[in-house]
């Protein structure tokens, strides 16, 4: 079965019928790159179908390969065995028992569909923010013994290779109003290469398979707890501090009228209460918070220039990232690290 660059609703329904034996109505979901469909069955459970697009020869897809997609499937299979209580999607096998399909160079995976409200950017209580951190900690604990050759991948959101974004920043059209922000982003790149990158090579920096994308659009939440964790598409082997920093930065400034760092500290403290962080982690978490905000500004604009039809989706969080990047820089790295240490006491 040949798949075009974008998979149609009809083709998604044909895949479900031919390989999974179910009759469905396919509804396309917004996604950064892959074709993703919600599959509604007549009286049966809703499913999710994800078809990984693997266009060759582009930096943005350096982490996209059949091996990388198989790695994502392996992560979900491992979590089903190692941590069945975690609220993550479960892999649905094909009619002949395969956990995923390889169709003309594309990788197809069907999973259960987790129902419930997406946290998104709506305000979260302090209790929910702590549960975000605690849920991430339980996920990291479950993934700690997991190994797979596909984990040794990278992509544009991999902050271990933040320096790969320098040519992307150089390609963005500059405006006079953007000069101060561009200078700040260049400074961030320079600091990463001089100070952060050497620390990542330190054997004391704890590494494992991590989610790397633990934000509101990938979390279902009800009341004061996380009820679902979605999208392992960016998972890879990396430092635990990066996973925590990414999750924390998305809660930075989330509570209106308060100190903008407090919501992020709730996430970090919630993580630490379940999976204690090491003495070197506070400073590194602070660095990764700033790096993720910088990456959001650069990558979203670069992707929007490449995919103008998807521009609104790709830039939906850029104004927020821009404001938070400036606010976090204003607090200062040393002050952020000190306050993270205090939150862990």
Name beta bridge partners: 22: none
Whichever domain contains 96, its CATH number is 3.30.200.20
- One domain, residues 102 and 133: no
Neighbouring C-beta atoms of residue 56, cutoff 10 Å:
8
Identify the pLDDT of residue 40: 95
Cα–Cα distance, 56 to 51 (Å, whole number): 16
Q: Which residue has the higher pLDDT, 53 or 286?
A: 286
- What band does 57 get if pLDDT is binned at 50, 70 and 90? very low
Strands 91-92 and 101-103 turn out to be unpaired
Q: What is the mean pLDDT of the chain?
A: 89
Cα–Cα distance, 70 to 91 (Å, whole number): 12
- What band does 69 get if pLDDT is binned at 50, 70 and 90? low
Q: Phi/psi class of residue 146: alpha, beta or left (left: φ > 0; alpha: ψ in -120 to 50)?
A: beta
Residue 4 resides in a domain: no
What value does the mean pLDDT take over residues 83-111? 92
Residue whose token pair is 């079965």: 1
Neighbouring C-beta atoms of residue 86, cutoff 10 Å:
17
- One domain, residues 173 and 210: yes
Chain centroid to CA 10: 29
- One domain, residues 316 and 179: yes
What value does the mean pLDDT take over residues 185-197? 96
pTM: 0.90
Identify the pLDDT of residue 175: 57
What are the DSSP calls for 218-270, one per residue?
Answer: GEEEETTEEEEE---TT-EEEEHHHHHHHHHHTTTT-STTS-TTHHHHHHHHH
Q: Please state the domain count of the chain.
A: 2
Cα–Cα distance, 181 to 297 (Å, whole number): 10
pLDDT in tens, 269-315: 999 999 999 999 999 999 999 999 999 999 999 988 888 888 888 88
Cα–Cα distance, 21 to 44 (Å, whole number): 12
Identify the pLDDT of residue 222: 92
83: containing domain? 9-112
Cα–Cα distance, 121 to 309 (Å, whole number): 23
- One domain, residues 76 and 204: no
- One domain, residues 101 and 224: no
Please report, rounded to a whole number, the percentage of residues in the chain having pLDDT higher than 70: 91
Contact 20, 92 (CB under 8 A): yes
Name beta bridge partners: 219: 229
Identify the pLDDT of residue 106: 79
Q: Which residue has the higher pLDDT, 102 or 138?
A: 138
pLDDT in tens, 194-244: 999 999 999 999 999 999 999 999 999 998 999 999 999 899 999 999 999
Contact 212, 244 (CB under 8 A): no
- One domain, residues 176 and 94: no
């Amino acid at each position: 079965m040949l798949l075009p660059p974008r998979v149609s609703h009809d083709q998604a329904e044909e895949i479900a019928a031919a390989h999974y034996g179910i009759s469905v109505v396919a509804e396309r979901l917004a996604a950064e790159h892959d074709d993703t469909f919600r599959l509604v069955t007549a009286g049966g459970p809703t499913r999710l179908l994800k078809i990984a697009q693997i266009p060759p020869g582009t930096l943005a897809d350096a982490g996209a390969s059949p091996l990388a997609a198989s790695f994502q499937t392996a992560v979900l299979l491992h979590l089903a065995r190692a941590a069945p209580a975690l609220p993550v999607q479960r892999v649905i096998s094909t009619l002949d028992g395969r956990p995923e399909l390889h169709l003309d160079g594309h990788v197809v995976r069907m999973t259960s569909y987790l129902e419930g409200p997406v946290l998104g950017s709506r305000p979260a209580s302090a209790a929910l923010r702590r549960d975000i951190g605690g849920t991430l900690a339980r996920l990291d604990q479950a993934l700690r013994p997991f190994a797979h050759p596909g984990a040794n991948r990278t992509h544009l959101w991999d902050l271990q290779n933040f320096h790969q974004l320098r040519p992307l920043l150089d390609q963005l059209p500059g405006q006079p109003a953007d000069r101060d922000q561009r200078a700040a982003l260049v400074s961030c790149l320079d600091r990463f290469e001089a100070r952060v990158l050497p620390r990542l090579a330190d054997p004391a920096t704890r590494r494992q398979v991590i989610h790397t994308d633990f934000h509101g659009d990938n979390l279902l939440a009800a009341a004061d707890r996380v009820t679902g964790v979605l999208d392992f598409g960016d998972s890879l082997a990396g430092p635990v501090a990066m996973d925590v920093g990414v999750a924390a930065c998305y809660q930075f400034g989330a509570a209106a009228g308060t100190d903008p760092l407090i919501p992020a500290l709730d996430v970090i403290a919630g993580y630490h209460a379940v999976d204690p962080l090491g003495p070197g982690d506070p400073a590194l978490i602070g660095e990764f918070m700033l790096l993720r905000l910088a990456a959001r500004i650069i990558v979203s604009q670069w992707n929007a220039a490449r995919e103008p039809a998807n521009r609104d989706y790709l830039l939906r969080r850029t104004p927020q990232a821009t404001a938070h990047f400036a606010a976090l820089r204003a607090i200062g790295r040393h002050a952020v690290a000190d306050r993270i240490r205090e939150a862990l006491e």
